[in-house]
Each structure stands twice: as structure tokens, then as C-alpha cells.
Chains A and B, each alone.
Chain A
Amino acid sequence: MKITINNREYNMPENISILEAVKKANIKIPTLCYIEGKEPYGGCRLCVVEVEGSKTLVPSCAVKISEGMKIKTHSEKVRKVRKTIMQLIVASHGISCELNCLTCPKATSCELKTIAEEIGVTKINIPPVEKNLPTDFSSYSIVREPTKCIVCGRCIRTCSEVQSVNIFTFANRGPNTIVTTFMDEGMGNVDCTNCGQCVMNCPTGALHEVYHIDGVWKAINDPEKITVVQTAPAVRVAIGEPFGLEPGTISTGKMVAALRLLGFDKVFDTNFTADLTIVEEGTEFIHRFKEGGKLPLFTSCSPGWIKFIEHNYPEFLPHLSSAKSPQQMFGAVAKHYYAKKLGVPKEKLVVVSIMPCTAKKYEMHRPELAGDVDFVLTTRELAKMIKESGIDFKNLPEEEYDDPFGISTGAGAIFGASGGVMEAALRTAYEILTGKELEKLDFTSVRGLAGVKEAEVEINGKIIKVAVVNTLGKARQLLEKMKNGEVEYHFVEFMACPGGCIGGGGQPIPTTEEVLLKRMEAIYEIDYDSKLRKSHENPAVKKLYEDFLEEPNSEIAHHLLHTHYVARN
């Protein structure tokens, strides 16, 4: 299809929007309410362009190209209107001394700032609007500051279209329109899963995690405390981004070095307890499989997913693995085994997690789990602390994790990507069930960014059907199908966030599909390069059973490493 963009002719595929066509022509149009891959919303109007024959400007996100269309993307008229709209947005963003950009949590990832610069807004002729809306501190995971909200609806649409959770809504009318939760109850009092995808999509500082940074600094600086830190699999492939490294740069060694420089006494790896999770969960699967227990077995590592099923599908709760998540297993082992080993009371030990996830902050507070983990920092918070300390992350020499919880396998690493838990579990379950060595370790059909992935494995002549799901929207779809008996599986992995933990709500912003793919690639690279790639072969895990836990699913293992769930409807 022939169209003209800024007096140049282009041949474009049919059925694409003006915005997509312009992008193909290597021109960038500013957008604010637009979410790639989602239905256009047409609220911010920043993406308007001039189309010959149209009286008004045309929103490029919402209008498809047509044969012979003549488009001007940055004409005088367009630039003027964009500038005015941007001024209106900035004025409504509560720009005053108390809300200064300098102190905003999103200061380094603020889309408003970026776009204002791109559009060339240097002066605001419009008086700022005072909103004076109270900040919502009701959630363990996410803080909402409505004063900074520009009512673009991206959180609403992400929560409903991607996650099918629908905790946000618009309220009121006109300039009084706000984004709020059901009956204005606050995020901690509605069916929020704490997944943090709203934070990832918020262009301003109106949504951010509950910061644990101050508490962590206090613990580090307290000579009475021993601080141990664990790092989740998906953090190492993303932590470099805030320091200018390419997405997918494997920064494990630098991260360990940085954590030591921050002052942590021991730096451990959540990958270790990921291996432990696989041994416990794999054993649980084998039990259920052999003895006719509740199948399919659902994985339970993702706390967003757990809260989702507790709210929406309590009838499926018996399907969940009782194994705690790697974060909580680590907390339990640290407080009940490691403290003893060190000969200190567990109160002296402060356990900090570095997680790609906002829901982990909620998870550590669950009554069933509370007390084992003391603080959870997101990847973004860790980056902030490293910056605060003036550490030149990019040029740090690499260091190794501490013993004994620094030893892990490739199977633990792939927990970071959607499909990883399943793949790791299959490697272990296969070998334990058949007693034979698994020849091909890679279950490539469960990898990638597709919403639902399926695979079949033959074990002892029986076909085992597995599925891997990422995003809660897709989880809902699959559970509905399961309810109607349309699909049957033996084992299903669920992750709340797109792409799994690499796309978690605590990861650096922006996390685009392109970024996700790079992080995912890095995760599998770590696996390939590992000497050990099967959880049950982890020598430290084996030793832990010998010294302390006896055997998988033993009484003590059950006491420390397993949990239960609650119906929340």
C-alpha cells in the first residue's frame, strides 16, 4: 500500500495503524496512553498527526493507513498542538516543590520527562493543578500516589487486559476523574495480586513499590545484625540495565561484588533454593503421580499467581504444590539452619531478598510464611542502593557467591523465565522416576513468550502432559478450560508476569518485549554454561538433606519448606 509520510513515498503493508507505519519509516511519534500490542485507547492525543483531507488531527494509534494517505507527523500545527497538550499534562501532574521531579521514585524512568523533552516543552504557561489526593499505603507491595496520576488508564488496561484482575477503575467525571480501586478501598484491601504490572506500565511516579531500602540500610549498619542476602534468578540478567548495560547482560559476578560493597555479610543465591524447591516439588509430583494424588499439580513459586488463585479459583487450591517458593525456602533455611550453624539466635540474622517481583513483598508478610524473610528489594531498589553508594557497577570485578548457599545448577537459573520451573522439574522427575539419565536436557517447547505452552514427555511408558502459562489473563483462560474439561494435564507451571520473572513487576523500566527476549536468552545461556544442570545433583542441596532435612518431603522438610493456602472469595 502506497502512502506518503512527510512528503516521502513509502510502500507499507495493509491493515496497520499510522503509528506502526510511521515507525517503519524510522520516525518516532510520542505516545503516552498507548500500550504496544493492546487495543488503542486514544486518550492522551499526543500521537495526533496531520492527514490530508481531515479537518481535525488524527490519532495515529487508532487509525489505520489507507491507499494514498498523506501524513505529516511533525508539521507546525501538529507540534504546536502536542506542545499544548503536553503542557496540560505537566500542569495536571502536580508539579510543585513538594512533588519535585528530583525526589520522585520514577525520576530516572519517567516517561513524562522523556516525552516532554522529545516534544520540546520548555515552559509551562498553565498554572499547576493542586490535587491533594491521599496516598494509598494500604498494600504491602505497591504504593499509589494519585497526585502524580495523569489518568492515562494504562494501569487499568494492563490490570484488566493482561492480568484479568481488574482492581482499578476510573471514578468521577471530567477534571475530577481519578483512577482508584473498588470503592476506593485501597490496593491492600481489594483483589490485587501485587504483580506490579501496573507499576511497569505507569508512565509517572503514581505507582511504585513499597520501599524497603531504608530498613535494609539500617540492618546493614547495625553491628548487632548479620545480614544475609539472596538474589533471585531473574535479577542477574536485568540489574545491569539501570547502569547502562545492554538488557540480557549477565551481571551475576558484578552484582555479588556490589552486594558485598553495600555491606551485606553473606551473599547467597536464590538459585540454590530454586534447586531445593525442585527437589521438594518434584518429589511431591512423583508422589501424586504414583499414588493417584490430585493432578494436575500446579507450581507455587509466583506469589502473584498464588493470590490470584486464592481470590478467583479457590476450588483449584488442592492442585497447588505445597512447596514454598524459593524465596521463602531460603528464609526458612537461613533462619532455622544457617543461624544455628553460625551459632547465633535467628533474631540476629536479617534475611534480605533481591527479587524481580513486587508480590514477594507481600509474600514475606503472609501469616503462613512471616518471619523468615525480613526485607525484599526489587531489582530497581537494588540499583538505587548501588547508585546511592557510588559504586561503579559497570566496572566492578566479578566475585563469587558465599558458601554454602551459593552453589546452584542451571535448573535453578531457568526459574527466571516462563517455563523454567517446569523444565527444571521435568529434568529431576524424569531421572528419579525412570532411574535413567536424561539425554536431552532442553525442553524447548516450554520456552519463549507465548501465553500458553504445552509439552509431552514419556516417562516409563506413560505420557506426561504439561503446560506452562504466563500472565494471569492466560491463567484464567486455562483454568476456565480446565473447569469445562476441555484440557487435561499432569503438571502446570503458572507465572503471573509476562515472560515469567524476567518480566516481573520489580524489574527495570522499560521492560519491552524486545528486552524480555534478551533477558530470556541470557537466562538460558547461564543454564548452558552451568557445570550442573539438574537440581537433584546440586551437592549443596544434597548436603543440606544429609545434615539437616533428612530427605525430600521428610517431616522436618515439610515443617520448614511447605505451606498451605487460603480461599479468599
Chain B
Amino acid sequence: MLEEKIFLKSDVEKTMDNYEFLGLKKSLEMKSEDIVKKITDSGLRGRGGAGFPTGKKWEFALAQKNDVKFLICNADEGEPGTFKDRFLLENMPFKVLEGIIIAAYAVKANFGYIYIRGEYSKAIDIFEKTIKEAYHRGLLGKNILGSNFNFELRLIKGAGAYVCGDETSLINSIEGKRGFSRIKPPYPVQRGLYDKPTVVNNVETLTTVAEIMKYEDNIFAKLGTEKSRGTKLVSISGDVKLPGIYEIEFGSGTLKDIIELAGGTKDELNFVVPGGLATSILKYDEINIPYTYEDLENAGSSVGSGGMIVVSQKHDLIDILLNVSDFFVKETCGTCFPCREGNRNIKEILLELKKKGYKEEYKKIIGELREAILLAARCGFGQSSVNFIYSVLDKFFYEEVR
């Protein structure tokens, strides 16, 4: 449903002439409450990974009585295997911008930030130009498009910490603090950036918002299944012939179908990571399930951020595990003990495993570490940091090596 307009960064000005901001124009004629209701009715869930209902988040934020509220677009895409936000930022910056302004208007926020991952230099360039041009055209600033809505937007470049994709760490980062997560509650919608109510939405979420608002009827709600509405951008990478970004209607096919869509695997399929490295894997014989939130959750995994990684049998499993473990050890923020020390120890065990082969005695300590991290880590990063590794260990080592 997302229309595609590929352009070069020098084209921002020219291309903006052809973009109508229809969703925004319609939104500005509506009351905030009505926009929130429309988004709630659409059934849109946050596309960053956690999947929290967007309408609900806005409803909480709108209910907050505060002179100052913030809207943050989370463009700190860092989930390994996920690159859909980059695509949107580079190719549809106006739609992203449109979504940001609509969201701000809906929750009555007059200040906003787009926090873009530092490594996305092209996206940063394009968005800088987009913001400048938007001010020029009265899409940002005072009395947007002749309405009485004022909204200021600034771009922040991330310094390169995966954990800053967590909304509370991201807020700390904008405030100039160390990228540590904050304790919830209070949630950002209650007390976020500079202690003011703050809505943090993902790039894809906001882009979808712009699209939903464009249409009179709720076409989004009509797509997908009862519990998984609309479409989702899936970034497919790994051992497929046509890696890339695919827009998938929820429930329209199985994981296997999506892999086929991406040209199928190069070698014999081993397993799939459906939603980025923070989600659990599904083995080659588990992929005949429809691509929906509910079916993936039933299978013990998750839609996550939509970063699907396809792995064939030609790779050494321990090497993959070490690689992934290394990522989580490097990126754990260091605040909470189970995540900081637990991930370090998991890596140690994997190194042993590589050197000496699988031993039954690892199982107990591995199990203990998993439980401590899963049940006691401080934020979503920690809690999901063990999903991939443990699902691989469970599905390959415990069964087959034992």
C-alpha cells in the first residue's frame, strides 16, 4: 500500500512539489481526538518491535495535561537484519515527515525530534534537506499550512549505540546523557523527554499513519487479520536469492511464501529469524505458518521489527552463535547486572563450546543464565538478548547433540 518514489537527495525540493501531504491536510481539519480514534480503530501496532497499539499510546499522551509535550520519531534503526526504516527515510522522507506532523498534532505536541542512527548518513542528509524545505513551505513552524497548529522539528544524529533504539535510552541520549534505559513506570507518555509527556514512534509506524489518514475509510483495518491489521515492511536478508524489502499483508501468506517471494534459498534452508536478532528462530520445518503477530507468537517467536534473516545449512552454527553473542555483549549498555554479566558469560560458554564441543554440563549454567536475563533484565534489550541464542541452542544442540 505504500507507494514508492525513488529519488536522489538533490531532488528533495523538486520532489516535494509533487507530494501533496493529503493525510496531513485532512488531519489538520480534524480534531485530535478523532485522529487518535481513527488510528485506534485501524488496529495499527508499533512497527519498531514491541508492537504496542499506536492509538492507545496516543490516547495516553493526549490525556496528559501539560503545556509542553514532545513527539519523537525513532529512526535509530539498529536491529541486525532490519533496514526498512532506512529505505523509508531515504526514499519517502515526506511521508515520514507527514506522519510525524500528524502524530504531533494528534497528541498536541509542539516540539519534536527525529533521532536518526548516525550510520545512516544518506538518510540524515536527505532528512536535513527535507526539514529545511518543510520549514520553507510552512509545513513546520508556526501555523502549519494555515492551521493554528505550531510544531518545531529537529534532527538528532545517534552516536552509534544499539540500545538507544530503546525509547527511554533514546530520550536520555537526546538529553545529552548516557544511553541508559530508564525505569518504567513512569512511561515516556507520562514523563519522558525533559520530564514532559513524550510519544516515541517508529519510522514505519509514522509512515503508515500518514497513509491511513490519507483515506476517508479505514482501508488499513480491512487488510490483514483480526489481530494483525494492515501490512508490514519485511526486510529479508541472508541466504535468499533476492534480499530486500517486501511489503507483506499480514496473513496473506506463510513465512515460507515470503522466502519464496524473495527468490527462495540458495542452499538447503536451516532456520529463519523472523523479526531481527532479538527474536527466536524457527527451524526449516516450522515455517509453514501464516505471517501474523498471533501465529508467530504461538510458535514462540515474534514479528519483531520485521528483519527476517534466512540461514541455510552451509553455515557453522557455533560461528553464527558467537557472532550474535558478540553483538549483544558489545551493545549491552552496562546498567543492569544480569544483562551485562550474563551476556558476557554466555559468550564465554560459546567460546568453550567452539573449542571443546558441546558438553552436557553447559546446559545447567546456560539455563540459569537464560532465566536470570529473561526474568530480571532491566529493559527490552536485555530481555530479548537471549532469544536468538537460546532458541538455536534449544532447537539444535539440546535435541541433536544430546
Contact = CB atoms under 8 A, between A and B. Distances in A.
Given A42-B335, A57-B376, A88-B345, 11 more contacts: A43-B337, A43-B378, A45-B337, A48-B375, A56-B374, A56-B383, A84-B368, A127-B345, A151-B340, A174-B343, A175-B343
Interface in A36-77: 40-46, 48, 56-57, 59, 62-63, 77
Interface stretch (B136-144, B277-285, B326-334): B326-334
A85 B344 contact: no
Contact of A81 (B330, B335, B375): B375
A364 B310 CA distance: 68
Contacts of A172: 334
B344 A129 contact: yes
B369 interface: yes
A402 B53 CA distance: 77
Contacts of A84: 338, 342, 368-369, 371-372
A91 interface: yes
Contact of A174 (B178, B330, B377): B330
A173 B161 contact: yes
Interface residues of B, number: 33
Given A127-B348, A151-B334, A173-B161, A91 B341 contact: yes
9 cross-chain pairs, A with B, having the tightest CB-CB distances, nearest first: A177-B334, A88-B341, A84-B372, A175-B344, A45-B376, A174-B332, A62-B183, A84-B368, A57-B375
B372 A81 contact: yes
Given A45-B378, A92-B341, A174 B334 contact: yes
Interface of A: 40-46, 48, 56-57, 59, 62-63, 77, 80-81, 83-85, 88-89, 91-92, 125-127, 129, 150-151, 170, 172-177
Chain A interface, DSSP helix/strand/loop, else mixed: loop
B282 to A, nearest CB: 21
B365 interface: yes
A43 B335 contact: yes
Interface of B: 161, 178, 183, 185, 329-338, 340-345, 348, 364-365, 368-369, 371-372, 374-378, 383
A102 to B, nearest CB: 24
B183 A40 contact: yes
Contact of A56 (B185, B335, B342, B376): B376
A41 B331 CA distance: 20
A45 B371 CA distance: 13
Contacts of B348: 127
Contacts of A125: 364-365, 368
B368 A174 contact: no
Given A88-B345, A127-B348, A174-B343, A48 B376 contact: yes
Given A42-B378, A48-B375, A88-B345, A170 B329 contact: no
Contacts of B340: 151, 174-175, 177
A175 B329 contact: yes
A91 B375 CA distance: 20
B197 to A, nearest CB: 19
B336 A42 contact: yes
Contacts of A80: 368, 371
Given A81-B376, A88-B345, A174-B329, A45 B338 contact: yes
